[in-house]
Chain A
Amino acid sequence: MEKQRLAIIGTGEVPTGTYPDRSQWDIIYETCISAVRDAGIDKNDVEAVITVAPQAQPQLTAEISFGKIPEELGLKGCKDSCICNAGGASTSNCLRLAEQLIESGQAKFVLIPHVTVHSTIPLPDLINFFAKAGIDLQWEYPYGTTYNGVIAMMTRRYMHESGTTEEEMASVVVSLRKWATLDPNSIFYGKEVPTIEKVLSSGMVSSPLHKRECNVLADGGAAMVVTSAEIAKQMGCPAAVKLGESTRYFSAFTTTRSTEDVKNGFLQGTNDALNAAGLTKEDIDIWNMYLAYPVGHPMFMETIGLCEPGQAGKMFMEGHTWPGGKLPWATIGDAIGRGHTGSGVSMATYVETARQLMGKADAKQVADVNYIFQNTSGGSGMNFIATVWGRNI
């Protein structure tokens, strides 16, 4: 029997931001019900719930781990429930688990939710979590490193090696925010897009990283309903189908990670995913990148040969990656543009991939989209999961 391809057929999402009256469970209700309705199935058709692990929220994690979502939503057909944690790469792994259940015939429809509410986490807990996540407690943390600091060091090295200017680095933020302002679920929806000068005039956090080159923590959530491409086709509904996938693991910590390994992983992982899909990079209509901070974007772009080495900064500066550009890039604006929802930005990126392929991306909709490349990554960049998605033709 031919391998069943995975298809996303329904999505639900709430605006990212701080809404004190919106509880974690409000978001779960709203996103899951929207996703099930968008898929056009009955709630009792959901046969499994595989949830993206929320970060820094142990109580919620415990509730979801021990099966509260199917009960809360009254999913009478649900046969099993679990949670999956690989940081920012969690959603990719939820999709793979769902794929297994569907492939083996144990479930037809799987619900994949995510929720993060940073704003109600006690501040000391939040600071403490992000100061230690992906940072080694023996060899890194005692020096006073932070996520921003670690990325700042990567950024300085990248700029040094590639000759990329600080204006070009800032233009990555400009590009991401140009997409974000079109996105009703972004914290920057409808907000003025900062100029390069404005990005660079924001305070220096960890040199050379300015405040506007860092992420804003926010609350958010989304859900997807997935099934097989075959069933999606029978249902006659628009769907995003996973055509290829490849992954690379690098290291848990940035100190022990070589840039060469990362670049090789980017290149090989991308090529493997494209080969599995029977496509080349020229076939890709949208590069839906989830790299959290600006530096990964130009590094990835030039590593896989979408421009000459050292020229990626210019690609962002000249507008090729903007809405209407020849290389639509990170169309929710990555974490910089969306607002950082812990493990949720990868979920939001998959939702966007699905909506673009379903023709449901509204103001962000790129014309004539057939193929999308999307990546995810966990921790401080421990791995690279490359996927290629297409329409259900």
Chain B
Amino acid sequence: MEMQKPIPVIQPWTKEFWKATKQGKLLVQHCKDCNANIFFPKKVCPKCWSENLTWIESSGKAVVYTYTAMLDMVEPKFMGDLPYVIAMVDLEEGIRMTTRIVNCNQDDIKIGMNVEVVFEEVSPECSLPVFQPADESLRLASPDQGDDTAVAAEPEKGMSPENYQTILYEIGGICGGECTITLNRPDKYNAINRQMAAELIDAFRRVRNEPSIGVVVLAGAGGKAFCTGGDLEIFPSLAEHQNSLNWLSHEGLDVQRAITSCEKVVICKINGHCLAGGLEIALACDLIYARESAKMGTTEINMGILPGWGGTARLPRSMPIFRAREIIFSGRKDYTAKEMYDMGLLTRVFKDEDFESEFEKVVKNIAAKKPIALRMGKEVMARSADGCDMETALAVERNGIQWLTYSPDIQAVMDQFRASPDKLTQQQKQQNIRSDVKK
């Protein structure tokens, strides 16, 4: 259930105002003695202390005096609305209201823009007056389309690599056959905020549509860290039970799923600190390479909680369980990459000075394989590792390979084999040699 948003705290003398909002009317309090229009409405006229007060109906037309796009650091009950626009608008009746600007793109809002009132229901007793552009061409939906008060600019709308704010998305790079997704908040140790979670989900879904790409490199910008987990800014919002659960089950689970269900081989490049949620993201990848000086660990237990983005599930499945338990229970953040490797985690650790070149070699080699084989390999091994019985695993493997063999890619190779078996055998030998480390 969505959290209850605050409803206006109504006073006896403002009941009339809120009752009118249910009929789509915006009222302005008016003093019959001194003719003042009054806002906020009062029990007596603040100018002349007259009690001879009435209500006039506003035209609902106003001009934007100032506004702000709320992007972060709001109360948990408003988190779900982010981003939203708060504004002060000057009504034709000469009063200034705080409100929201809705039903338009944030970038179209300007000081001086003409707006008109619409109503957003918040309780059976009252609706909030909010404002949309008077210019219909600036509205996201026409007023008769029902939900005309939708909050401006949903984060997912129009999300693309060009406007990612927290990650970089690059096709090609090391050998042209891979995509690199870089967590790009280096001054925050690449910590994950809601924006980054949304962008990661988008990026891993997007790369699925790149048929020539077989490998995705997931890296951290700046050299200080791969990722240190959830941004501490998120934490105030987690004080609310529902928000906390959503951070785990929406953003958290969706990011993990976006990585594990991405058909590409995801190679994690750990260069610097890799902690808490950062390590859990690494664990969702298919291969993990680390710089020798990288420091790793799960610190959640130091706050009295546990890793919540797959840590308790994947660490014990990735290494001997008695060692996994130590990592989770100790809360240490200073495990070196070498220690982690010795304990059974990680694909490989390279010396700091060799890291970039060795990592490049690995990516180059794997990215040169056929994407279709990498994709099938990822899926077959994932099902096998999930713990099915041996016969099932072997059947999945057998049928997977049989499917690959009859895929158009491989059949094209088979045609060559049929035409000149020796030539193909030679080619295959060369491919095998190229894949070895020692050449």
On A, residues with C-beta under 8 Å from B are: 122-124, 126-128, 131, 136-146, 148-149, 152-154, 156-157, 160, 198, 201-209, 211, 214, 253-256
Contact = CB atoms under 8 A, between A and B. Distances in A.
B189 to A, nearest CB: 14
Contacts of B98: 139-140, 143, 145, 254-255
B7 interface: yes
A127 B239 CA distance: 10
B71 A207 contact: yes
Interface string B220-258: 000000000000000110011000000000000000000
B268 interface: no
Interface string B166-183: 000000000000000000
B11 A138 contact: yes
Given A142-B128, A146-B73, A156 B40 contact: no
B2 to A, nearest CB: 14
Nearest to A253: B40
A142 B97 contact: no
Contact of A136 (B40, B69, B81, B122): B40
A149 B70 contact: yes
B14 A138 contact: yes
A157 B110 CA distance: 11
B74 to A, nearest CB: 6
Given A127-B76, A138-B10, A255-B40, 4 more contacts: A138-B8, A141-B6, A153-B86, A254-B88
Interface stretch (B60-68, B290-298, B369-377, B430-438): B60-68
B68 A207 contact: yes
B72 A149 contact: no
A123 B68 contact: no
A142 B6 contact: yes
B341 interface: no
A153 B66 contact: yes
A142 B88 contact: no
29 contacts: A123-B236, A123-B239, A124-B239, A127-B75, A137-B8, A138-B9, A138-B40, A139-B97, A142-B8, A143-B128, A144-B75, A144-B81, A144-B84, A145-B98, A146-B74, A152-B68, A153-B66, A156-B67, A157-B66, A201-B187, A202-B187, A203-B71, A203-B193, A204-B69, A205-B71, A205-B73, A254-B88, A254-B98, A256-B39
A142 B5 contact: yes
B111 interface: yes
Contacts of A122: 239
Closest 5 CB pairs of A and B: A152-B68, A144-B78, A157-B66, A137-B9, A207-B69
B96 interface: yes
Contacts of B193: 203
Contacts of A142: 5-8, 122, 128
A204 B106 CA distance: 14
A205 B72 contact: yes
Contacts of B10: 138
Contacts of B235: 123
Interface of B: 5-11, 14, 39-40, 65-76, 78, 81, 84, 86-88, 96-100, 111, 122, 128, 130, 187, 193, 235-236, 239-240
B75 A206 contact: no
Contacts of A139: 8, 39-40, 97-98
Contacts of B84: 144
B97 A204 contact: no
Give chain B's interface secondary structure class. Answer: mixed
A145 B86 contact: yes
A138 B122 CA distance: 13
Contact of B71 (A138, A143, A156, A204): A204
Contacts of B5: 142, 144
A300 to B, nearest CB: 19
A123 B11 CA distance: 29
Given A138-B10, A142-B6, A142-B122, A206 B65 contact: no
Contacts of B130: 143
Contacts of A128: 75
Q: Which of B68, B73, B88, B235 has the most CB of A within 10 A?
A: B68
B88 A255 contact: yes
A128 B76 CA distance: 9
A149 B66 contact: no
A251 to B, nearest CB: 10
Nearest to B87: A153
B72 A203 contact: yes
B74 A144 contact: yes
B100 A143 contact: yes
Contacts of B111: 156-157, 160
Q: Which of B70, B87, B240 has the most CB of A within 10 A?
A: B70
A282 B248 CA distance: 59
B8 A153 contact: no
A377 B364 CA distance: 62
B73 A160 contact: no
A206 B68 contact: yes
Contacts of B14: 138
Contacts of B70: 144, 146, 149, 206
Contacts of A141: 6
A4 to B, nearest CB: 38
Nearest to A153: B66
Contacts of A208: 68
Contacts of A160: 66, 111
Contacts of A157: 65-66, 111
A126 B236 CA distance: 9
